[in-house]
Chains A and B, each alone.
Chain A
Amino acid sequence: MAKNKQTMSRALQRREDIAGYLFMLPSLIFFLGFVVIPMFVCIGYSLTDATMHQQAATQFVGFSNFAKLFQDKVFLEALRNTFVIVIVSVPTVCAFSLWVSSVIYKLSGPVLSAFRCIFYLPVVTGSVAVTVVWKWMFDNYTGIINTALKGAGLIEKNINFLGDSKWALWCIILILFTTSVGQPIVLYVSALGNVDQGLVEAAKVDGATDLQVFWKIKWAQMMPTTLYILVITTINSFQCFALIQLLTQGGSGTQTVMYYIYYTAFKLTQQAGHFGYANAMGVVLAIFIGILSALQFRLAKEK
């Protein structure tokens, strides 16, 4: 790239600069205005003791919010849960959707379409609407899951899915899972359909097993799709905010950083409105996500 630049004449470079930035401009206004600048303001806030009530002047407090953060048991639990959600849901969604697609992509047109639509349904039904139904299904007293498990003789006493810290986080992950796999399946189905058949045939002639064909050829060719899926699934896992707000309000061991930021900022607790503190959490989360995205991108690029 650097070489490329040198060979370009200065006038040409200027032309490219102007054209490039003019094309970027509309997007940049929104990106800088509503993502980047707030992010920097967030970093600025995190170094102060700003509160919602603002009765005294805001003080610069250095990194003390961060120091406090790592002694806050709730935050550490939230960080762990956030990590669990991402680490569990991203690979399972990818693996599951790959498996489903590999089963259905060779089926006949209408059947394929039907399956694709079905797995996409929870996405288009909307997470709020789906959550409402799941809340009823997980219900401790009249929930259909408890009724079914009891009917089958698997359990004796109803399980309090959403009120028990052994279960609640996994219930959230499960709901998140159903609202996340739709898109990856659609993507993988098309990607599998587009694998270069010539290569596959050639490998088969050379005596490669189905599994080898899959990994060596199909998987390699689907790498861009996989990258895309990794990114959207990660984005999707952060939509768990709605599930937590509607199902457990952060109780029963389902606190996540996303929810704890909101909780610290706006729930009517004694800490309510500790903006400096809440923003410090935001900064930690942003660093965590930034590294994760960069890593995903690197890994996928190198392959």
Chain B
Amino acid sequence: MKTIRKVLALVLALCMVLALAACAGTPAETKAPESQAPASQPPAETKTPDEPGTEMADAITLWTYPIGKWGVEEEVLKMTNAFTEATGIKVTVEYLAYADGDDKVNSALSGGGAPDLIMEGPERLVANWGDNGHMVDLSDLFDSEDMSEINAVNEGVMKACTHTSGAIYEYPLVMTAHCMAINRNAFEQAGALEYVDLEKHTWTTENFIKAVEALYAEFGETVGAVYCAGQGGDQGTRALVNNLYGGTFTNAEHTAYTWDDPLNVKALEQLRSMDGIAFDASLAGGDEIAKFYQGVLKMAFCWNIAQQLDPNGAHGDPGKTVTGDDIEFMAFPSEDGTAKLQGGIWGFGIFDSKDEGRIAAAKEFIKFMCDSEHTADAVKTANYFAVRTKAGGADLSNIWADNEIMAEYNVLMPMLGDYYQVTTNWAQARTSWWTMLQKVGEGADVAEAVAQYAKEAIGG
């Protein structure tokens, strides 16, 4: 007993000392760079364009998510080697997976090992890391010509890459519209091909329901999964639910979440009532694609052009499942057959290392990849569409002209909807969304679950 009391006393004494130290402002143990940042200084003002005199670093690090072939070492090395040859700056690349990539970046940010460059979309770079003051403002990289080249393709892109404070935290490289896919052979076998318009790649909600019924009658198993194991690929489930009866996820100004919309409740109830559709909490987006590729699921909700070109990233035949069935990409079903597709924008951001030399080198890298004659290669490596018409004087509008699948996919691009993934509290909204799907799948009252989790998303 005596020993225990002594230990306890020791513990308490030490706690108090530490608590006091923490209270005083900067705990001695927080030696991470972020704590050294003056608290009052807004992140947007910390950086100035690289002036002459700043010595450029000779080595930088880049972390990429698997964006097309930007996740394949062999292909990325071609790009970075070209950059090293042109500038003498060495690039070390690390490859992140969607399953644990965010965790890695966050743990690196807290552990002081954050990379210089990161390649992903605005929902992470702008709405999260940018919003939390970890990113460098890239405004000085854009001149009016760049802006007009990008706006000529889609006006929403720059808006998505710009933080509410006006700082630009992502330099966009490529974009696409997320869609879904069906297994053509399975549809044929079930006599469900009549329900889809393979010319325009669209279908109506009514036909979608009929098609699922026909498929279920033929195969007697789940044909499509509303995956909800985590947030991976959640754009697919959101687009499915929103489009089915015309519900929305956020308001047009991106100031509030609107997914407690009765139309969304109706869609969720409809999906849950269908025999062929399962809410599956054991699958994330990537697993769903895998199951579709394997031929088990007959449709996938987590699809886009990069998948169409290289299904499941397995380097098999383009547009084919592993068993050789044809894959048809489709817009999400909606009542009138004109879906609003979710956009995907990918580009580079720079983590604020407080090291002018490294930031300057990273900016050099961005210019090389996104705004030069090498941009065409960078875009092609990503397997998506360029976000701009020209880069460094080179025309980008025809880079995919020789690729039939890309040309065909263009029919979906006009359906590109609002890029709402930068709404405040986005990270919370995503989490609430898939948690809600799990609850709905387990039989919770849809209206109640939707109301509860939508409130959570709004309230933060």
Tell me the A residues contacting B by CB distance below 8 Å.
40-41, 43-45, 47-48, 50, 52-60, 138-142, 158, 160-165, 245, 248-249, 251-252, 262, 265-273, 275, 294
A138 CB to nearest B CB, Å: 8
Are A251 and B283 closer than 8 Å at their CB atoms? no
Bound-complex Cα distance A85 to B185 (A): 45
Whether A44 touches B27, Cβ cut-off 8 Å, given contacts A252-B282, A262-B103, is yes
* B contact residues around A47 at 8 Å (CB): 15, 19, 22
**Residues A270 and B23 in contact, CB atoms below 8 Å apart:** no
Contacting residues, chain B, for A142 (C-beta < 8 A): 294, 296
Across the interface, B283 reaches (CB within 8 A) one of A58, A140, A266, A273, namely: A140
- Starting from the known contacts A164-B282, A249-B99, 5 additional A-B residue pairs (CB-CB under 8 Å) come to A58-B27, A60-B19, A163-B441, A252-B282, A265-B110
Q: How far is the CB of A227 from chain B (nearest CB, A)?
A: 19
B281 partner residues in chain A, CB cutoff 8 A:
160, 162-165, 248, 251-252
Asked whether B431 is an interface residue with its Cβ less than 8 Å from the other chain, the reply is yes
Cα A163 to Cα B278 in complex, Å, equals 11
Would A269 and B22 count as touching, CB distance under 8 A? Answer: no
- Nearest-neighbor residue (CB-CB) of A41 within chain B: B29
List 25 interface pairs A-B (beta carbons < 8 Å), by A numbering.
Answer: A44-B15, A48-B23, A53-B132, A57-B26, A58-B23, A58-B25, A60-B20, A140-B283, A141-B291, A141-B296, A141-B297, A162-B281, A163-B280, A164-B281, A249-B229, A249-B284, A251-B229, A251-B435, A265-B110, A267-B103, A267-B106, A271-B428, A272-B106, A272-B427, A273-B106
Pick from B27, B428, B460: contact of A45, CB under 8 Å:
B27
Q: Does B445 contact A (CB under 8 A)?
A: no
User: Is there an interface contact between A40 and B15, defined as CB atoms closer than 8 Å?
Assistant: yes
Is the C-beta of B86 less than 8 angstroms from some C-beta in chain A? no
Task: Tell me if B34 and A53 are in contact (CB < 8 A).
Answer: yes
Asked if B69 is at the interface (CB within 8 A of a chain A CB), the reply is: no
Among residues 1 to 51 in chain B, which have CB atoms less than 8 Å away from a CB atom of chain A? 4, 11, 14-15, 18-23, 25-27, 29-30, 32, 34-35, 37, 39
Q: In the complex where A55-B132, A251-B438 touch, is A45 in contact with B22 (Cβ < 8 A)?
A: yes
B100 CB within 8 Å of chain A: yes
With contact pairs A48-B22, A55-B132, A245-B100 given, residues A40 and B282 touching in the complex (Cβ less than 8 Å): no
- B15 cross-chain contacts in A, Cβ below 8 A: 40, 43-44, 47
- Set of chain A residues within 8 Å of B34, measured between Cβ atoms: 52-54
Size of the B side of the interface (Cβ < 8 Å), in residues, is: 60
Tell me, rounded to whole Å, the shortest Cβ–Cβ distance linking B37 to chain A.
7
Bound-complex Cα distance A58 to B124 (A):
25
In the bound complex, what is the Cα–Cα distance between A164 and B279 (angstroms)? 10
Q: Which of B30, B294, B296 contacts A50, CB < 8 Å?
A: B30
Task: Judge whether B106 and A265 touch: CB under 8 Å.
Answer: yes
Mask: chain B, 421-456; 1 = CB below 8 Å from A; 0 = not: 000010110110011001001100000000000000
- Measured between beta carbons, the chain A residues less than 8 angstroms from B99 are 249
Given A44-B15, A55-B132, CB of A60 within 8 Å of CB of B103:
no
CA distance A142 to B427 in the complex (A): 33
Q: A140-B283, A265-B106, A269-B431 are in contact. Are A44 and B438 (CB under 8 A)?
A: no
Specify the chain B residue showing the minimal Cβ separation from A42: B18
B11, B124, B229, B230 — which one has the most chain A CB atoms within 10 A of its CB?
Answer: B229
CB atoms of B427 and A266 under 8 A apart: no
Chain A minimum-CB-distance residue to B291: A141
- Select one of B35, B109, B229, B427 contacting A163, CB under 8 A: B229
CB distance from A48 to the nearest CB of B (A): 4
Smallest Cβ-Cβ distance to A270: which chain B residue: B428
In the complex, the chain B residue whose C-beta lies closest to that of A283 is B15
Report Cα–Cα, A141/B220, bound state, in Å.
Answer: 12
**B205 within 8 Å of A (CB atoms):** no
Tell me if A273 and B110 are in contact (CB < 8 A).
yes
CB distance from A85 to the nearest CB of B (A): 19
B110 touches A165 (CB 8 A): no
A142 to B296, CA, bound (A): 8
Q: Hey, which chain B residues are within 8 Å of A268, CB to CB? A: 102-103, 106, 124, 128, 231, 427
Cα–Cα distance between A158 and B37 once the two chains are bound (Å) = 54
Whether a CB of chain A sits under 8 angstroms from the CB of B134 is yes
CB neighbours (8 Å) of A158 from chain B are 221
User: Interface readout for B367-385 with A: 1 if CB under 8 Å, 0 if not?
Assistant: 0000000000000000000
Contact of A53 with B23 at beta-carbon distance under 8 Å, contacts A140-B282, A249-B230, A267-B102 already known: no
Chain B residues near A165 (CB-CB < 8 A): 281, 442
Distance of A267 Cα from B100 Cα, bound (Å): 8
B139 interface contact, C-beta 8 A: no
Q: How far is the CA of A43 from the CA of B12 in the complex (A)?
A: 10
- Please tell me if B156 contacts chain A, counting CB pairs below 8 Å: no
In the complex, whether B222 has a CB less than 8 A from a CB of chain A is yes
Q: How far is the CB of A272 from chain B (nearest CB, A)?
A: 6
B102 touches A141 (CB 8 A): no
For B220-264 the 0/1 string (1 means CB < 8 A from A) is: 011000001111000000000000000000000000000000000
B229 A248 Cβ-Cβ under 8 A: yes
Q: Contact check, B133 vs A53: say whether CB atoms are below 8 A apart.
A: yes
**Is the Cβ of B438 less than 8 Å from the Cβ of A53?**
no
* Cα–Cα distance between A50 and B32 once the two chains are bound (Å): 12
Residues of chain B contacted by A251 (CB below 8 angstroms): 228-230, 281, 434-435, 438
B106, A266: Cβ atoms under 8 Å? yes
Contacts of B297 in A (CB 8 A): 141
A40→B18 contact, CB < 8 A: yes
Closest A-chain residue to B435, C-beta based? A251
| Residue B107, interface by CB 8 Å | yes
Which chain B positions have C-beta within 8 A of A271? 428
A74 to B: closest C-beta gap in Å:
9
Given B110, B282, B291, which contacts A160 in the complex, CB threshold below 8 Å?
A: B282
Pairs of residues from A and B, 6 with the lowest C-beta to C-beta distance, nearest first: A44-B18, A163-B282, A60-B23, A270-B428, A163-B281, A268-B102
> Separation in Å of the B63 CB from the closest CB of chain A?
14
Closest to B35 in A: A54
Contacts of A54 in B (CB 8 A): 30, 32, 34-35, 37, 39
Closest to A62 in B: B19
Nearest chain A residue, comparing its CB with the CB of B12? A43
- Give complex CA distance A50, B83 in Å: 40
- Complex formed: what's the CA distance from A269 to B107 in Å? 13
Instruction: A53 to B35: give the CA distance in the assembly, Å.
Output: 8
Q: Nearest Cβ distance between residue B220 and chain A, in whole angstroms?
A: 10
